[in-house]
C-alpha cells in the first residue's frame, strides 16, 4: 500500500490501516520529537515524549482527521516527509508554550548571543542591536517567522550548526539550505524596514 492508499484506508476508519500507519510512522515521529528536544537543549522524560507523541497523533485525527486528510503528496512529498514537518512544528510549538523563546541577549558558555550572531550577518547591525527598542523589534521580527524558519535560525545561530549540518538535519541539499538562509535574512530585513529601521 502506498502513502495515499494507506491514508485513504485510515480515513475510512479501517483498523488494520491504522495499525499499519502506527507501525510505519511511530518510530519516525518519536525520532523527530527527540531530535527537536535535543537541538533545543531540552531534557524530557519518556512520559513527556509520550505526551508530545499523543498530542501530535490527536492533532492529526481531531475534527474527523482534518489535518491528516490535508496531506496531498504534492511535488513528490512523501507522507514520512510531511509527518516529519508536522512533528517538528508541533514540538517547537509545544516547547514554546512551556517556556518563552530565549532572549536574543542570552549568552552561551563562550559569551556569545543570538544578537551577536545576527550582528555578524549584515553591515550596520551592531549599531542596530545597541538600542534596546531595536533589539525588541528584532525579537518581534523573529517571532513573525514561520516555525521552521525559527528552527533554522535556532540551529544556525544558537546551536552553532554549520550549513552542511543543517542540510543533513532538514534532509535537503546545500543549495536549498543557502536559499532558505537567504530568504530568512530577506524576511528579517523587510520586517526591520517596515518597522522603520534599516535604510
Angle, helices 46-69/3-11, rounded to nearest 10 degrees: 90
Cell matching residue 52: 508530545
Binned at pLDDT 50, 70 and 90, residue 199 comes out as very low
Q: Which residue spans within 33-141 are E strands per DSSP? A: none
Sign of the torsion angle spanned by Cα atoms 133, 131, 184, 44: negative
Instruction: Please tell me the number of Cα atoms within 13 Å of 112 on its side-chain side.
Output: 11
Predicted pLDDT of residue 151: 82
pLDDT in tens, 174-195: 888 888 888 888 888 888 777 6
pTM exceeding 0.85: no
pLDDT in tens, 68-86: 888 877 777 788 888 988 8
Domains delineated in the chain: 3-98 (1.10.1740.10), 114-194 (1.10.10.10)
Angle at 128 between CA 130 and CA 154, to 5 degrees: 90
Amino acid at each position: 500500500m502506498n502513502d495515499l492508499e494507506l491514508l485513504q484506508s485510515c480515513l475510512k476508519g479501517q483498523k488494520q490501516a491504522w495499525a499499519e500507519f502506527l507501525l510505519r510512522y511511530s518510530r519516525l515521529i518519536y525520532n523527530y520529537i527527540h531530535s527537536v528536544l535535543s537541538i533545543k537543549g531540552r531534557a524530557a522524560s519518556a512520559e513527556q515524549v509520550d505526551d508530545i507523541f499523543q498530542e501530535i497523533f490527536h492533532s492529526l485525527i481531531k475534527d474527523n482527521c482534518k489535518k491528516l486528510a490535508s496531506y496531498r503528496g504534492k511535488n513528490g512529498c512523501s507522507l514520512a516527509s510531511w509527518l516529519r514537518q508536522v512533528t517538528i512544528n508541533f514540538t517547537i510549538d509545544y516547547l514554546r508554550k512551556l517556556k518563552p523563546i530565549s532572549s536574543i541577549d542570552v549568552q552561551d558558555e563562550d559569551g556569545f548571543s543570538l544578537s551577536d550572531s545576527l550582528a555578524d550577518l549584515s553591515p550596520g547591525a551592531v549599531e542596530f542591536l545597541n538600542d534596546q527598542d531595536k533589539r525588541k523589534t528584532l525579537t518581534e521580527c523573529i517571532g513573525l517567522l514561520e516555525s521552521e524558519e525559527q528552527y533554522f535560525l535556532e540551529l544556525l545561530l544558537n546551536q552553532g550548526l554549520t550549513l552542511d549540518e543543517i542540510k543533513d538535519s532538514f534532509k535537503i541539499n546545500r543549495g536549498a539550505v543557502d536559499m532558505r538562509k537567504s530568504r530568512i535574512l530577506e524576511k528579517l530585513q523587510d520586517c526591520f524596514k517596515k518597522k522603520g529601521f534599516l535604510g
